[in-house]
Structure 1
Amino acid sequence: MSARHIPFRKMNGLGNTFVVFDARQEPVTLTAEERRWVADEAAGGPGFDQMITIEKPTVGGMDAFMRIHNADGGEVDACGNATRCIGWLLMQEANNSFANILTNAGFLKAIDAGEPHMVTVDMGMPRLEWQDIPLAEEFADTRVIELQIGPIDDPILHSPSAVNMGNPHAIFWVDNVEAYDLEKIGPLLEHHPIFPERANISLAQLIGENEIRLKVWERGVGQTRACGTAACAVGVAAPRKKLTDRKTVIHLPGGPLAIHWREEDDHVLMTGAIEDEYKGQLDLDARSWTKDH
Protein backbone atom coordinates (compact mmCIF):
# COMPACT_ATOMS: atom_id res chain seq x y z
CA MET A 1 0.00 0.00 0.00
CA SER A 2 1.43 3.38 -1.03
CA ALA A 3 1.40 6.02 1.69
CA ARG A 4 -0.97 8.14 -0.40
CA HIS A 5 -3.08 5.36 -1.95
CA ILE A 6 -5.21 3.90 0.78
CA PRO A 7 -7.94 1.23 0.66
CA PHE A 8 -11.10 2.04 2.60
CA ARG A 9 -14.56 0.73 3.29
CA LYS A 10 -17.80 2.74 3.34
CA MET A 11 -20.34 1.67 5.97
CA ASN A 12 -23.31 3.16 7.76
CA GLY A 13 -25.45 2.58 10.81
CA LEU A 14 -28.99 3.83 10.07
CA GLY A 15 -27.55 6.41 7.67
CA ASN A 16 -24.80 7.54 10.07
CA THR A 17 -21.94 7.23 7.56
CA PHE A 18 -18.38 6.01 8.06
CA VAL A 19 -15.20 5.71 6.05
CA VAL A 20 -13.23 2.85 7.61
CA PHE A 21 -9.46 2.30 7.32
CA ASP A 22 -7.71 -0.89 8.43
CA ALA A 23 -4.39 0.10 10.02
CA ARG A 24 -3.63 -3.19 11.72
CA GLN A 25 -0.89 -4.16 9.25
CA GLU A 26 0.28 -0.74 8.05
CA PRO A 27 -0.36 2.63 9.73
CA VAL A 28 -2.87 5.02 8.15
CA THR A 29 -2.23 8.69 8.89
CA LEU A 30 -4.20 11.60 7.45
CA THR A 31 -3.87 15.26 8.29
CA ALA A 32 -6.90 17.13 9.62
CA GLU A 33 -7.22 18.85 6.24
CA GLU A 34 -7.16 15.47 4.44
CA ARG A 35 -9.80 14.09 6.80
CA ARG A 36 -12.02 17.08 6.07
CA TRP A 37 -11.63 16.46 2.31
CA VAL A 38 -12.53 12.76 2.65
CA ALA A 39 -15.61 13.79 4.68
CA ASP A 40 -16.79 16.38 2.15
CA GLU A 41 -18.75 14.94 -0.78
CA ALA A 42 -19.11 18.43 -2.29
CA ALA A 43 -15.30 18.67 -2.45
CA GLY A 44 -15.04 15.26 -4.14
CA GLY A 45 -14.48 13.00 -1.13
CA PRO A 46 -16.48 9.81 -0.50
CA GLY A 47 -18.14 11.54 2.46
CA PHE A 48 -18.55 10.54 6.09
CA ASP A 49 -19.93 11.61 9.44
CA GLN A 50 -17.03 9.83 11.18
CA MET A 51 -13.73 8.41 9.96
CA ILE A 52 -12.86 5.12 11.67
CA THR A 53 -9.37 3.66 11.87
CA ILE A 54 -9.07 0.03 13.01
CA GLU A 55 -5.75 -0.44 14.83
CA LYS A 56 -4.01 -3.21 16.74
CA PRO A 57 -5.16 -3.22 20.38
CA THR A 58 -2.72 -2.26 23.11
CA VAL A 59 -4.56 -4.33 25.73
CA GLY A 60 -4.83 -8.11 25.87
CA GLY A 61 -8.17 -9.75 25.15
CA MET A 62 -9.21 -7.00 22.70
CA ASP A 63 -9.86 -7.71 19.01
CA ALA A 64 -9.03 -4.17 17.86
CA PHE A 65 -8.67 -0.54 18.83
CA MET A 66 -11.13 1.82 17.12
CA ARG A 67 -9.98 5.41 16.52
CA ILE A 68 -12.69 7.97 15.65
CA HIS A 69 -12.46 11.32 13.86
CA ASN A 70 -15.40 13.60 13.13
CA ALA A 71 -16.09 15.33 9.83
CA ASP A 72 -14.43 18.52 11.12
CA GLY A 73 -11.14 16.59 11.40
CA GLY A 74 -11.05 16.36 15.20
CA GLU A 75 -10.70 13.14 17.19
CA VAL A 76 -13.50 12.02 19.53
CA ASP A 77 -13.83 9.19 22.02
CA ALA A 78 -17.08 7.37 21.22
CA CYS A 79 -19.47 6.54 18.39
CA GLY A 80 -22.14 3.94 19.01
CA ASN A 81 -23.19 3.33 15.41
CA ALA A 82 -19.55 2.98 14.32
CA THR A 83 -19.00 0.46 17.12
CA ARG A 84 -21.81 -1.66 15.71
CA CYS A 85 -20.27 -1.46 12.21
CA ILE A 86 -16.75 -2.32 13.34
CA GLY A 87 -18.10 -5.02 15.64
CA TRP A 88 -19.88 -6.58 12.64
CA LEU A 89 -16.65 -6.52 10.58
CA LEU A 90 -14.61 -8.12 13.36
CA MET A 91 -17.23 -10.80 13.98
CA GLN A 92 -17.33 -11.58 10.24
CA GLU A 93 -13.53 -11.87 10.11
CA ALA A 94 -13.32 -14.20 13.11
CA ASN A 95 -16.57 -16.07 12.40
CA ASN A 96 -17.49 -15.25 15.98
CA SER A 97 -20.65 -14.08 17.75
CA PHE A 98 -18.96 -11.23 19.64
CA ALA A 99 -16.06 -8.80 19.36
CA ASN A 100 -14.15 -6.85 22.02
CA ILE A 101 -13.31 -3.31 20.92
CA LEU A 102 -11.05 -0.82 22.69
CA THR A 103 -11.79 2.91 22.26
CA ASN A 104 -10.62 6.12 23.90
CA ALA A 105 -13.86 5.91 25.91
CA GLY A 106 -12.97 2.41 27.17
CA PHE A 107 -13.84 -1.20 26.33
CA LEU A 108 -16.99 -1.97 24.32
CA LYS A 109 -18.43 -5.35 23.41
CA ALA A 110 -20.31 -6.00 20.16
CA ILE A 111 -22.66 -8.99 20.02
CA ASP A 112 -24.41 -10.70 17.12
CA ALA A 113 -28.09 -9.78 17.58
CA GLY A 114 -29.30 -12.93 15.82
CA GLU A 115 -30.45 -11.38 12.53
CA PRO A 116 -28.36 -10.50 9.45
CA HIS A 117 -26.58 -7.16 9.84
CA MET A 118 -28.10 -6.59 13.30
CA VAL A 119 -25.62 -5.86 16.10
CA THR A 120 -25.92 -5.16 19.82
CA VAL A 121 -23.24 -3.12 21.57
CA ASP A 122 -22.74 -2.94 25.32
CA MET A 123 -21.93 0.76 25.66
CA GLY A 124 -21.08 0.51 29.36
CA MET A 125 -22.39 2.74 32.13
CA PRO A 126 -23.56 6.31 31.57
CA ARG A 127 -21.82 9.11 33.42
CA LEU A 128 -24.36 11.32 35.15
CA GLU A 129 -22.45 13.58 37.57
CA TRP A 130 -21.99 17.15 36.36
CA GLN A 131 -18.18 17.01 36.44
CA ASP A 132 -18.14 13.77 34.41
CA ILE A 133 -20.34 15.01 31.56
CA PRO A 134 -18.61 17.57 31.86
CA LEU A 135 -20.49 20.79 32.67
CA ALA A 136 -18.84 24.10 33.45
CA GLU A 137 -20.76 24.56 36.68
CA GLU A 138 -22.13 22.30 39.39
CA PHE A 139 -25.61 20.79 39.14
CA ALA A 140 -26.83 18.50 41.91
CA ASP A 141 -29.25 16.77 39.52
CA THR A 142 -28.44 16.42 35.82
CA ARG A 143 -31.90 15.14 34.94
CA VAL A 144 -32.62 18.84 34.35
CA ILE A 145 -30.00 21.57 34.03
CA GLU A 146 -30.53 25.31 33.77
CA LEU A 147 -30.00 26.21 30.13
CA GLN A 148 -32.21 28.00 27.67
CA ILE A 149 -32.07 29.62 24.27
CA GLY A 150 -34.27 32.55 23.33
CA PRO A 151 -36.01 35.24 25.42
CA ILE A 152 -35.90 34.74 29.20
CA ASP A 153 -39.69 34.97 29.52
CA ASP A 154 -40.41 32.84 26.43
CA PRO A 155 -37.43 30.56 25.63
CA ILE A 156 -37.34 28.51 22.44
CA LEU A 157 -35.77 25.58 24.29
CA HIS A 158 -34.96 25.10 27.96
CA SER A 159 -34.16 22.67 30.80
CA PRO A 160 -32.34 19.82 29.04
CA SER A 161 -31.19 16.56 30.56
CA ALA A 162 -27.42 15.96 30.50
CA VAL A 163 -25.70 12.57 30.07
CA ASN A 164 -22.25 11.39 29.02
CA MET A 165 -22.18 8.19 26.93
CA GLY A 166 -18.49 8.48 26.02
CA ASN A 167 -19.25 12.02 24.83
CA PRO A 168 -21.41 14.83 26.26
CA HIS A 169 -25.13 15.01 25.41
CA ALA A 170 -27.84 17.57 26.14
CA ILE A 171 -31.42 16.38 25.53
CA PHE A 172 -34.27 18.87 25.16
CA TRP A 173 -37.73 17.34 25.68
CA VAL A 174 -40.21 18.81 23.18
CA ASP A 175 -43.74 18.21 21.92
CA ASN A 176 -42.66 18.09 18.27
CA VAL A 177 -39.08 17.63 17.07
CA GLU A 178 -40.01 19.08 13.67
CA ALA A 179 -41.06 22.41 15.17
CA TYR A 180 -37.45 23.56 15.66
CA ASP A 181 -34.67 24.55 13.26
CA LEU A 182 -31.91 22.29 14.55
CA GLU A 183 -29.53 23.52 11.83
CA LYS A 184 -29.74 26.97 13.41
CA ILE A 185 -30.07 26.07 17.09
CA GLY A 186 -27.62 23.14 17.12
CA PRO A 187 -24.36 25.08 16.57
CA LEU A 188 -25.28 27.68 19.20
CA LEU A 189 -25.94 25.05 21.83
CA GLU A 190 -23.02 22.80 20.85
CA HIS A 191 -20.64 25.66 21.66
CA HIS A 192 -22.50 27.00 24.72
CA PRO A 193 -20.08 27.87 27.57
CA ILE A 194 -21.83 25.38 29.87
CA PHE A 195 -20.21 22.59 27.78
CA PRO A 196 -16.39 22.93 28.06
CA GLU A 197 -15.91 20.02 25.62
CA ARG A 198 -18.88 21.05 23.45
CA ALA A 199 -21.92 18.75 23.33
CA ASN A 200 -24.22 16.73 21.11
CA ILE A 201 -27.63 18.42 21.09
CA SER A 202 -30.81 16.32 20.88
CA LEU A 203 -34.50 17.07 20.49
CA ALA A 204 -36.56 14.22 21.98
CA GLN A 205 -40.32 13.68 21.65
CA LEU A 206 -42.25 10.99 23.49
CA ILE A 207 -44.50 9.39 20.83
CA GLY A 208 -45.83 6.31 22.64
CA GLU A 209 -45.22 3.99 25.54
CA ASN A 210 -41.41 3.57 25.67
CA GLU A 211 -41.03 5.09 22.18
CA ILE A 212 -39.20 8.34 21.45
CA ARG A 213 -38.59 10.32 18.27
CA LEU A 214 -35.12 11.87 18.18
CA LYS A 215 -33.25 14.43 16.09
CA VAL A 216 -29.56 15.08 16.79
CA TRP A 217 -27.04 17.82 16.14
CA GLU A 218 -23.70 16.04 16.55
CA ARG A 219 -20.70 18.07 17.66
CA GLY A 220 -18.10 18.37 14.92
CA VAL A 221 -20.48 16.83 12.37
CA GLY A 222 -23.82 18.64 12.21
CA GLN A 223 -27.29 17.18 11.91
CA THR A 224 -27.09 13.42 11.31
CA ARG A 225 -29.54 10.70 10.30
CA ALA A 226 -28.56 8.71 13.37
CA CYS A 227 -26.37 9.01 16.45
CA GLY A 228 -25.96 5.90 18.58
CA THR A 229 -24.56 7.58 21.69
CA ALA A 230 -27.41 10.14 21.56
CA ALA A 231 -29.97 7.31 21.41
CA CYS A 232 -28.25 5.72 24.42
CA ALA A 233 -28.24 9.05 26.27
CA VAL A 234 -31.97 9.46 25.62
CA GLY A 235 -32.57 5.84 26.68
CA VAL A 236 -30.99 6.77 30.03
CA ALA A 237 -32.44 10.27 30.46
CA ALA A 238 -36.06 9.18 29.78
CA PRO A 239 -36.31 6.60 32.60
CA ARG A 240 -34.40 8.96 34.91
CA LYS A 241 -37.24 11.45 34.34
CA LYS A 242 -39.83 8.63 34.68
CA LEU A 243 -40.99 9.17 31.10
CA THR A 244 -40.33 5.54 30.08
CA ASP A 245 -39.15 2.19 31.36
CA ARG A 246 -35.53 1.09 30.93
CA LYS A 247 -36.27 -0.53 27.56
CA THR A 248 -37.03 1.99 24.81
CA VAL A 249 -37.17 2.26 21.03
CA ILE A 250 -35.56 5.44 19.75
CA HIS A 251 -36.75 6.49 16.29
CA LEU A 252 -34.11 8.47 14.39
CA PRO A 253 -34.44 9.80 10.82
CA GLY A 254 -32.33 6.84 9.66
CA GLY A 255 -34.34 4.20 11.51
CA PRO A 256 -34.92 2.69 14.99
CA LEU A 257 -32.48 1.73 17.72
CA ALA A 258 -33.51 -0.48 20.64
CA ILE A 259 -32.01 0.72 23.93
CA HIS A 260 -31.92 -1.27 27.17
CA TRP A 261 -30.50 0.45 30.26
CA ARG A 262 -29.90 -2.75 32.20
CA GLU A 263 -30.87 -2.48 35.85
CA GLU A 264 -28.51 -5.09 37.30
CA ASP A 265 -25.31 -3.33 36.23
CA ASP A 266 -26.46 0.02 34.71
CA HIS A 267 -24.90 -0.90 31.35
CA VAL A 268 -26.58 0.48 28.23
CA LEU A 269 -27.24 -2.00 25.39
CA MET A 270 -27.93 -0.64 21.91
CA THR A 271 -29.26 -2.81 19.06
CA GLY A 272 -29.73 -1.82 15.43
CA ALA A 273 -28.90 -2.46 11.79
CA ILE A 274 -25.66 -1.77 9.91
CA GLU A 275 -24.94 -1.60 6.18
CA ASP A 276 -21.67 -2.55 4.49
CA GLU A 277 -21.88 -0.32 1.40
CA TYR A 278 -18.70 -0.79 -0.67
CA LYS A 279 -14.90 -0.93 -0.73
CA GLY A 280 -12.78 1.69 -2.47
CA GLN A 281 -9.36 3.28 -2.92
CA LEU A 282 -8.31 6.80 -1.95
CA ASP A 283 -5.66 8.76 -3.86
CA LEU A 284 -4.84 11.54 -1.43
CA ASP A 285 -2.31 13.22 -3.73
CA ALA A 286 -4.83 13.52 -6.56
CA ARG A 287 -7.75 14.15 -4.21
CA SER A 288 -9.72 11.37 -5.90
CA TRP A 289 -11.18 7.98 -5.08
CA THR A 290 -12.63 4.94 -6.83
CA LYS A 291 -14.90 2.06 -5.89
CA ASP A 292 -13.51 -1.45 -6.12
CA HIS A 293 -15.13 -3.65 -8.75
Structure 2
Amino acid sequence: MHGLGNDFVVVDAREAPVAMDADRARAIADRHTGIGCDQIILIGPGDDTDVSMRIWNSDGSEVAACGNATRCVPVLVGRDVSIRTAAGVLHAAREGDGATVDMGQPRFQWNEIPIAYAMDTQPLPLAWGELANPVAVNVGNPHLVFFVPDVDAVPLEALGPDIEYDLVFPERTNVNIAHVLAPDHLVMRTWERGAGLTRACGTGACATFAAGRKLGLLAPSCRLDLPGGTLHLAEGPDGQLLMSGPATHVFAGEAAL
Protein backbone atom coordinates (compact mmCIF):
# COMPACT_ATOMS: atom_id res chain seq x y z
CA MET A 1 0.00 0.00 0.00
CA HIS A 2 1.06 3.63 -0.22
CA GLY A 3 -0.01 7.07 0.86
CA LEU A 4 1.03 9.64 -1.75
CA GLY A 5 3.97 7.45 -2.77
CA ASN A 6 5.17 6.81 0.80
CA ASP A 7 5.06 3.04 0.36
CA PHE A 8 4.52 0.21 2.82
CA VAL A 9 4.55 -3.54 3.11
CA VAL A 10 1.53 -4.10 5.35
CA VAL A 11 1.45 -7.43 7.17
CA ASP A 12 -1.99 -8.51 8.41
CA ALA A 13 -1.36 -10.31 11.70
CA ARG A 14 -4.86 -9.98 13.13
CA GLU A 15 -5.59 -13.71 12.94
CA ALA A 16 -2.13 -15.18 13.54
CA PRO A 17 1.03 -13.59 14.99
CA VAL A 18 3.90 -12.69 12.66
CA ALA A 19 7.46 -12.38 13.97
CA MET A 20 9.19 -9.12 13.05
CA ASP A 21 12.54 -7.67 14.06
CA ALA A 22 15.11 -5.26 12.65
CA ASP A 23 16.83 -7.83 10.42
CA ARG A 24 13.60 -9.10 8.91
CA ALA A 25 12.29 -5.57 8.40
CA ARG A 26 15.46 -4.59 6.51
CA ALA A 27 15.21 -7.71 4.34
CA ILE A 28 11.60 -7.01 3.41
CA ALA A 29 12.26 -3.31 2.75
CA ASP A 30 15.26 -3.87 0.47
CA ARG A 31 14.23 -2.73 -3.01
CA HIS A 32 16.73 -5.03 -4.74
CA THR A 33 16.54 -8.31 -2.80
CA GLY A 34 13.23 -7.95 -0.94
CA ILE A 35 9.82 -6.48 -1.70
CA GLY A 36 10.88 -2.88 -1.21
CA CYS A 37 9.24 -0.12 0.84
CA ASP A 38 9.81 2.89 3.06
CA GLN A 39 8.21 1.20 6.09
CA ILE A 40 6.91 -2.20 7.20
CA ILE A 41 3.55 -2.05 8.97
CA LEU A 42 2.33 -4.88 11.21
CA ILE A 43 -1.42 -4.83 11.87
CA GLY A 44 -2.45 -6.97 14.84
CA PRO A 45 -5.42 -7.39 17.17
CA GLY A 46 -6.08 -4.69 19.74
CA ASP A 47 -6.81 -5.28 23.40
CA ASP A 48 -8.77 -2.07 23.97
CA THR A 49 -8.93 -0.93 20.32
CA ASP A 50 -10.07 -2.40 17.01
CA VAL A 51 -6.48 -3.11 15.91
CA SER A 52 -2.87 -2.45 16.85
CA MET A 53 -0.11 -1.12 14.59
CA ARG A 54 3.70 -1.41 14.76
CA ILE A 55 6.04 0.34 12.33
CA TRP A 56 9.60 -0.40 11.17
CA ASN A 57 11.61 1.91 8.92
CA SER A 58 13.57 0.53 5.98
CA ASP A 59 16.76 0.68 8.09
CA GLY A 60 15.20 -1.70 10.63
CA SER A 61 14.49 0.89 13.33
CA GLU A 62 11.07 0.71 14.98
CA VAL A 63 9.13 3.97 15.32
CA ALA A 64 5.99 4.99 17.17
CA ALA A 65 3.98 6.76 14.47
CA CYS A 66 3.44 7.02 10.72
CA GLY A 67 0.65 9.22 9.44
CA ASN A 68 0.46 7.90 5.87
CA ALA A 69 0.42 4.30 7.12
CA THR A 70 -2.32 5.13 9.62
CA ARG A 71 -4.57 6.20 6.72
CA CYS A 72 -3.97 2.80 5.12
CA VAL A 73 -5.36 0.89 8.11
CA PRO A 74 -9.09 1.68 7.66
CA VAL A 75 -8.72 1.09 3.91
CA LEU A 76 -7.23 -2.35 4.57
CA VAL A 77 -9.73 -3.24 7.31
CA GLY A 78 -12.65 -1.79 5.36
CA ARG A 79 -14.16 0.40 8.07
CA ASP A 80 -13.46 3.13 10.61
CA VAL A 81 -11.03 1.90 13.27
CA SER A 82 -9.35 2.76 16.54
CA ILE A 83 -5.65 1.90 16.43
CA ARG A 84 -3.30 1.21 19.33
CA THR A 85 0.21 2.49 18.53
CA ALA A 86 3.30 3.15 20.60
CA ALA A 87 2.36 6.83 20.34
CA GLY A 88 -1.12 6.24 21.80
CA VAL A 89 -4.58 5.50 20.42
CA LEU A 90 -5.41 6.97 17.01
CA HIS A 91 -8.79 7.08 15.30
CA ALA A 92 -9.01 6.71 11.52
CA ALA A 93 -12.18 7.08 9.44
CA ARG A 94 -12.71 6.03 5.82
CA GLU A 95 -13.22 9.01 3.55
CA GLY A 96 -13.38 8.88 -0.25
CA ASP A 97 -10.27 7.15 -1.59
CA GLY A 98 -8.49 7.41 1.73
CA ALA A 99 -9.08 8.38 5.32
CA THR A 100 -9.06 11.11 7.94
CA VAL A 101 -6.94 10.47 11.02
CA ASP A 102 -7.02 12.20 14.40
CA MET A 103 -3.28 12.40 15.14
CA GLY A 104 -3.71 13.91 18.61
CA GLN A 105 -2.18 17.10 19.99
CA PRO A 106 1.34 18.25 19.09
CA ARG A 107 3.96 18.57 21.84
CA PHE A 108 6.57 21.31 21.92
CA GLN A 109 8.51 20.93 25.18
CA TRP A 110 12.21 20.13 24.79
CA ASN A 111 11.93 16.91 26.84
CA GLU A 112 8.93 15.78 24.77
CA ILE A 113 10.78 15.98 21.43
CA PRO A 114 13.21 14.78 22.98
CA ILE A 115 16.28 17.03 22.95
CA ALA A 116 19.44 16.16 24.87
CA TYR A 117 19.31 19.27 27.06
CA ALA A 118 16.87 22.08 27.84
CA MET A 119 16.43 24.78 25.20
CA ASP A 120 13.74 26.81 23.52
CA THR A 121 12.01 24.84 20.74
CA GLN A 122 10.12 27.70 19.03
CA PRO A 123 12.58 28.12 17.43
CA LEU A 124 15.63 26.04 18.30
CA PRO A 125 18.79 28.20 18.50
CA LEU A 126 20.66 25.82 16.17
CA ALA A 127 21.80 25.77 12.54
CA TRP A 128 23.08 23.29 9.98
CA GLY A 129 24.47 24.97 6.89
CA GLU A 130 21.78 27.16 5.37
CA LEU A 131 19.05 25.66 7.59
CA ALA A 132 18.68 27.50 10.88
CA ASN A 133 16.27 28.02 13.78
CA PRO A 134 13.69 25.29 13.19
CA VAL A 135 10.61 24.61 15.29
CA ALA A 136 10.85 21.29 17.13
CA VAL A 137 7.62 19.34 17.61
CA ASN A 138 6.62 15.80 18.50
CA VAL A 139 3.55 14.34 16.76
CA GLY A 140 4.16 10.75 17.83
CA ASN A 141 7.75 11.01 16.63
CA PRO A 142 10.29 13.87 16.65
CA HIS A 143 10.35 16.50 13.90
CA LEU A 144 12.16 19.69 13.00
CA VAL A 145 10.39 22.17 10.75
CA PHE A 146 12.30 24.82 8.75
CA PHE A 147 10.33 27.49 6.88
CA VAL A 148 12.34 28.49 3.79
CA PRO A 149 11.89 30.67 0.66
CA ASP A 150 12.27 27.73 -1.77
CA VAL A 151 12.00 24.06 -0.79
CA ASP A 152 13.64 22.90 -4.03
CA ALA A 153 16.74 25.03 -3.46
CA VAL A 154 17.65 23.27 -0.19
CA PRO A 155 20.05 20.28 -0.56
CA LEU A 156 17.97 18.17 1.80
CA GLU A 157 19.62 14.91 0.70
CA ALA A 158 22.93 16.32 2.00
CA LEU A 159 21.76 18.15 5.12
CA GLY A 160 19.11 15.62 6.18
CA PRO A 161 21.48 12.91 7.46
CA ASP A 162 23.62 15.42 9.39
CA ILE A 163 20.55 16.80 11.18
CA GLU A 164 18.92 13.40 11.72
CA TYR A 165 22.00 12.01 13.48
CA ASP A 166 23.02 15.15 15.40
CA LEU A 167 23.75 14.14 19.00
CA VAL A 168 21.39 16.84 20.29
CA PHE A 169 18.56 14.47 19.26
CA PRO A 170 18.93 11.26 21.34
CA GLU A 171 16.23 9.48 19.29
CA ARG A 172 17.33 11.10 16.00
CA THR A 173 14.83 13.33 14.21
CA ASN A 174 12.82 13.86 11.03
CA VAL A 175 13.58 16.98 9.00
CA ASN A 176 10.94 19.02 7.16
CA ILE A 177 11.38 22.09 4.96
CA ALA A 178 8.34 24.13 3.98
CA HIS A 179 7.38 27.28 2.12
CA VAL A 180 4.13 29.11 2.93
CA LEU A 181 2.34 30.14 -0.26
CA ALA A 182 -0.71 31.46 1.62
CA PRO A 183 -2.15 30.99 5.12
CA ASP A 184 -4.10 28.01 3.82
CA HIS A 185 -1.52 26.56 1.42
CA LEU A 186 2.11 25.45 1.67
CA VAL A 187 4.59 23.12 -0.01
CA MET A 188 7.00 20.85 1.86
CA ARG A 189 9.66 18.14 1.59
CA THR A 190 10.82 15.67 4.23
CA TRP A 191 13.96 13.77 5.15
CA GLU A 192 12.45 10.90 7.10
CA ARG A 193 14.30 9.39 10.04
CA GLY A 194 15.36 5.88 9.10
CA ALA A 195 14.09 6.11 5.52
CA GLY A 196 15.66 9.18 3.89
CA LEU A 197 13.90 11.30 1.29
CA THR A 198 10.30 10.18 0.89
CA ARG A 199 7.57 11.31 -1.47
CA ALA A 200 5.31 12.11 1.47
CA CYS A 201 5.41 12.04 5.27
CA GLY A 202 2.13 12.20 7.16
CA THR A 203 3.59 13.00 10.56
CA GLY A 204 5.88 15.51 8.84
CA ALA A 205 2.84 17.23 7.36
CA CYS A 206 1.21 17.29 10.81
CA ALA A 207 4.37 18.65 12.42
CA THR A 208 4.75 21.35 9.77
CA PHE A 209 1.12 22.41 10.12
CA ALA A 210 1.46 22.49 13.93
CA ALA A 211 4.64 24.57 13.68
CA GLY A 212 3.01 26.99 11.24
CA ARG A 213 0.02 27.39 13.53
CA LYS A 214 2.32 27.96 16.51
CA LEU A 215 4.16 30.73 14.66
CA GLY A 216 0.94 32.31 13.35
CA LEU A 217 1.77 31.55 9.73
CA LEU A 218 -1.14 29.25 8.89
CA ALA A 219 -4.93 29.22 9.07
CA PRO A 220 -6.85 26.59 11.11
CA SER A 221 -7.12 24.43 7.98
CA CYS A 222 -4.56 24.08 5.26
CA ARG A 223 -3.55 22.31 2.07
CA LEU A 224 -0.05 20.78 2.05
CA ASP A 225 1.56 19.87 -1.28
CA LEU A 226 4.26 17.19 -1.09
CA PRO A 227 6.28 15.55 -3.91
CA GLY A 228 3.79 12.66 -3.93
CA GLY A 229 0.57 14.68 -3.78
CA THR A 230 -1.66 16.66 -1.43
CA LEU A 231 -2.76 16.29 2.17
CA HIS A 232 -5.29 18.41 4.06
CA LEU A 233 -4.70 19.38 7.68
CA ALA A 234 -7.07 20.97 10.17
CA GLU A 235 -6.99 21.90 13.82
CA GLY A 236 -9.68 20.19 15.91
CA PRO A 237 -11.64 21.80 18.75
CA ASP A 238 -9.19 20.52 21.37
CA GLY A 239 -6.08 21.41 19.37
CA GLN A 240 -5.74 17.94 17.86
CA LEU A 241 -4.36 17.50 14.35
CA LEU A 242 -6.77 16.11 11.74
CA MET A 243 -5.06 14.78 8.61
CA SER A 244 -6.96 13.78 5.46
CA GLY A 245 -5.59 12.17 2.32
CA PRO A 246 -5.58 9.14 0.01
CA ALA A 247 -4.45 5.60 0.77
CA THR A 248 -3.92 3.10 -2.04
CA HIS A 249 -3.90 -0.71 -2.06
CA VAL A 250 -1.42 -1.81 -4.73
CA PHE A 251 -1.21 -5.60 -4.50
CA ALA A 252 -1.45 -8.54 -2.11
CA GLY A 253 0.69 -11.65 -1.98
CA GLU A 254 3.08 -13.86 -0.02
CA ALA A 255 6.84 -13.66 0.38
CA ALA A 256 9.41 -16.04 1.85
CA LEU A 257 11.41 -13.42 3.73
TM range (shorter): over 0.9
Using the TM superposition, give the Cα deviation of residue 74 of structure 1 relative to its aligned residue in structure 2, in angstroms.
1.3
Name the % identity: 44
Give the superposed CA RMSD: 1.1
- What SS does the corresponding residue of 1:41 show, helix, strand or coil? coil
- What SS does the corresponding residue of 1:277 show, helix, strand or coil? coil
2:29 maps to 1:27: no
- What SS does the corresponding residue of 1:281 show, helix, strand or coil? coil
Corresponding residue of 1:167: 141
Using the TM superposition, give the Cα deviation of residue 225 of structure 1 relative to its aligned residue in structure 2, in angstroms.
0.3
Determine the C-alpha separation between the residues in 1 that align with 2:131 and 2:12: 42
2:52 maps to 1:52: no
Amino acid at match of 1:24: R
Q: Is the 8 A contact 1:88 1:110 kept in 2?
A: no
Determine the C-alpha separation between the residues in 1 that align with 2:82 and 2:58: 25
- What SS does the corresponding residue of 1:220 show, helix, strand or coil? coil
2:223 maps to 1:241: no
Using the TM superposition, give the Cα deviation of residue 209 of structure 1 relative to its aligned residue in structure 2, in angstroms.
3.2
Determine the C-alpha separation between the residues in 2 that align with 1:194 and 1:251: 29
Determine the C-alpha separation between the residues in 2 that align with 1:26 and 1:111: 25
2:165 maps to 1:186: no
2:254 maps to 1:272: no
- What SS does the corresponding residue of 2:252 show, helix, strand or coil? strand
2:226 maps to 1:252: yes
2:58 maps to 1:71: yes
Write out per-residue CA displacement over residues 250-285 of structure 1, whole angstroms, 9 at most, x where no aligned residue: 1110001100122x201100000111000011012x
Normalised by the size of structure 2, how large is the TM-score? Answer: 0.97
Determine the C-alpha separation between the residues in 2 that align with 1:30 and 1:107: 21
Corresponding residue of 1:130: 110
Using the TM superposition, give the Cα deviation of residue 161 of structure 1 relative to its aligned residue in structure 2, in angstroms.
0.6
Aligned counterpart in structure 2 of residue 145 of structure 1, from 111, 124, 130: 124
Determine the C-alpha separation between the residues in 2 that align with 1:120 and 1:129: 26
- What SS does the corresponding residue of 2:254 show, helix, strand or coil? strand
Using the TM superposition, give the Cα deviation of residue 208 of structure 1 relative to its aligned residue in structure 2, in angstroms.
2.5
Q: Is the 8 A contact 2:165 2:173 kept in 1?
A: yes
Q: Is the 8 A contact 2:59 2:195 kept in 1?
A: yes
Write out per-residue CA displacement over residues 28-83 of structure 1, whole angstroms, 9 at most, x where no aligned residue: 113422221211112x2111111001111122xx1100011110111110000000
Amino acid at match of 1:149: W
Write out per-residue CA displacement over residues 170-219 of structure 1, whole angstroms, 9 at most, x where no aligned residue: 01111001111111110000011221110000111112332111100000
Gaps of 5+ in 1: 1-10, 151-155, 285-293
2:94 maps to 1:112: yes
Write out per-residue CA displacement over residues 112-145 of structure 1, whole angstroms, 9 at most, x where no aligned residue: 22x2x221000011111111111112124x2211
Corresponding residue of 1:157: 131
Aligned length: 257
Determine the C-alpha separation between the residues in 2 that align with 1:65 and 1:163: 24
Corresponding residue of 1:281: 254
Determine the C-alpha separation between the residues in 2 that align with 1:20 and 1:77: 16
Amino acid at match of 1:46: I
- What SS does the corresponding residue of 1:135 show, helix, strand or coil? coil
Aligned counterpart in structure 1 of residue 67 of structure 2, from 68, 75, 80: 80
Aligned counterpart in structure 2 of residue 38 of structure 1, from 22, 28, 32: 28
Determine the C-alpha separation between the residues in 1 that align with 2:45 and 2:252: 21
Q: Is the 8 A contact 1:250 1:258 kept in 2?
A: yes
Amino acid at match of 2:2: N
Rg bigger for which structure? 1
Amino acid at match of 1:50: Q
